[in-house]
Amino acid sequence: MLVLLASIFVVHIATVIMLFVSTIANVWTVSDFGGISVGLWKNCTAANDCSHSLSYSNEDALKAVQAFMILSIIFSVISLVVFVFQLFTMEKGNRFFLSGATMLVCWLCILVGASIYTYHYANNSTGQYPESHHGYSFILTWICFCFSFIIGILYLVLRKK
């Protein structure tokens, strides 16, 4: 049981780190020509110059993606803190309902944010880069989506022994 709790804790920390990286890094879409990348916050050129703002930065869809990704980080960190708190204060035999529910809220925020980005920007509807592919931030977000769901369900099922 201790090994299971430790492994869940490690995966949870990895998920929080990956959420930070995927939200902060400006590599959600990468142009096939010249290494130009686009993130949630800035446009980066081939010379790693990320001082260019997005041409569509005032769109509500992008603001929603930014908000939901920040909320997912917040809920993931809260879930981690609640899990550690419950680990040391909860009586034996109880389940980690609060940490599981908080992690599932994080999962929902990732789902909404990544889905909005996929619908509006991943299919190149902005027309900015006709030849482009998904960057590592976009892929990390969907990996975090899977991990947060698994962690949330495991928290709900697990009992403290």
Residue with tokens 């698994």: 150
Stated pTM of the model: 0.87
Long-range CB contact pairs, 10-15, < 8 A, 24+: 11/147, 11/150, 11/151, 12/76, 12/79, 12/80, 12/83, 12/103, 12/151, 13/80, 14/147, 15/76, 15/144, 15/147, 15/148, 15/151
Block mean pLDDT (10 aa), the chain, length 161: 85 95 86 77 75 74 92 96 88 82 96 90 61 84 95 86 66
Residue with tokens 């299971």: 4
pLDDT, residue 150, reads 94
